[in-house]
Structure 1
Amino acid sequence: MKKDFQISYEYFKNAGELDDIEKELLDKAKQARENAYSPYSEFSVGCSVLLENGQIFTGNNQENAAFPSGLCAERTALFWISANFPEEKIKKIFVVGGPKEFSENNPPIPPCGACRQSLLEYETKQNENIDLYFSNMNDEVIKVKSIKDLLPFYFDATFL
């Protein structure tokens, strides 16, 4: 028997199509990207996270010569937030990435598989979907309403 997945997502051609909070999250993710430590891959990623209390926190990728000792932007932000605001719900996450040298041909950059799994853990923990946005440096944005949209055969605590 063959089955298919279908996901819904929103596409924004540029930042002008975003609302005010989305624009702020995009800007903060871009700013965080500027502070990324990516001397080996030359691929910088910034992430901004909106909590239910209205606070916004950021993270960026941090590489290490001893691969894979570095950490992605999304997990840098998530783990810090969880350590400092363990009960606060995450409402929105914005990811902006691409080569350090800007190229107009780069598509919106989604989270890697490890980050998708980590993001899913927090969505499951709070029992509430997280809006996830990912973008390129041209402000072209894709939005999904749940991490599960990017990880349909997900693994969570129900399997344990």
Structure 2
Amino acid sequence: MKEIKIETTLSVFEDLKESPENIVSLMKQAEEAREKAYAPYSKFLVGVAIQLENGEVITGSNQENASYPSGLCAERTAIYYAGAKYPGVAMKSMAIMAGSTIHKTITPIPPCGACRQAIAEYEVKQDEPIEIYFMGESGKVVKSESLANLLPLVFDKSVL
């Protein structure tokens, strides 16, 4: 038997003000998108802003449904729209702000597993990493240089 050790490196900013200026702006757009979330069941609002290579910013928010599997996370809402509206344009950075309407959320909240898989698809497709920044409503901001740091054993087209 052989062991495989998987390591990842993430950067942590103490708060949004410590983050790069362009990310502060992107996170503010994610916050605005978060305000448009429809989450009457989970009371958990998520907003995303994606900076494209062509300078466009695409935003998305989570949209729930009484039939739970029919809802869609903010990350997938934004990434699929970006892929449909700007096919072939690389996604450079993604800012995610998430939090509950029931209690204050200060812990950085990464994308769920399904969203990680969707982001991985586009990262593989464009053959270029997507920087991912995520936070709660306030507090620390975590930066991942690539989705590969959050999903190291990615399932992609190479295994099909």
Q: TM-score, normalised by structure 1?
A: 0.96
User: Aligned ranges for residues 1-160 of structure 1 at < 5 Å?
Assistant: 1-103=2-104, 106-160=106-160
SS class of match (1:138)? coil
RMSD: 1.0
Q: CA-to-partner distance for each residue in 1:17-62, whole Å, 9 max, x for gaps? A: 1122100111000110011000000000000000001111100000
1:128 deviation in Å? 0.4
More deviation, 146-155/112-121: 146-155
Question: How many Å apart are 1:139 and its aligned residue?
Answer: 3.9
Query: Which deviates more from structure 2 when the two are superposed, residues 117-126 or residues 10-19?
Result: 10-19
Report if aligned partners of 1:102, 1:137 keep a CA contact under 8 Å in 2. Answer: no
Question: Residue 96 of structure 1 contacts residue 134 of structure 1 at CA under 8 Å; is this kept in 2?
Answer: yes
What amino acid sits opposite 1:13 in the alignment?
E
TM-score by structure 2 length?
A: 0.96
Supply the distance in 1 between the matched residues of 2:101 and 2:140 (Cα, whole angstroms).
17
| Structure 2 residue matching 1:39: 3-state secondary structure | coil
Q: Deviations over 1:90-132 (max 9, x none)?
A: 000011101023415x410000000000000000000001101
Deviation at 1:3, TM superposition (A): 2.6
Aligned residue-pair number: 159
- 1:125 corresponds to which letter in structure 2? K
Q: Secondary structure at the match of 2:125?
A: helix
SS at match of 1:68: helix
Decide whether the 8 Å contact of 2:107 with 2:139 is kept in 1.
no
For structure 1, the 5+ residue unaligned runs are none
Tell me, in whole angstroms, the C-alpha distance in 2 between the residues paired with 1:33 and 1:101. Answer: 15
Distance 1:34 1:97 in 2: 10
For 2:93, the aligned partner's letter is K
Distance (Å, rounded) in 1 between the aligned partners of 2:20 and 2:151? 26
Structure 2 stretches lacking a partner, 5+ long: none
Whole-angstrom distance in 2 between the partners of 1:20 and 1:133: 13
In 1, the alpha carbon distance for the partners of 2:124 and 2:98 equals: 25
Shift of 1:2: 2.7
- Quote the offset at 1:15 in angstroms: 1.3
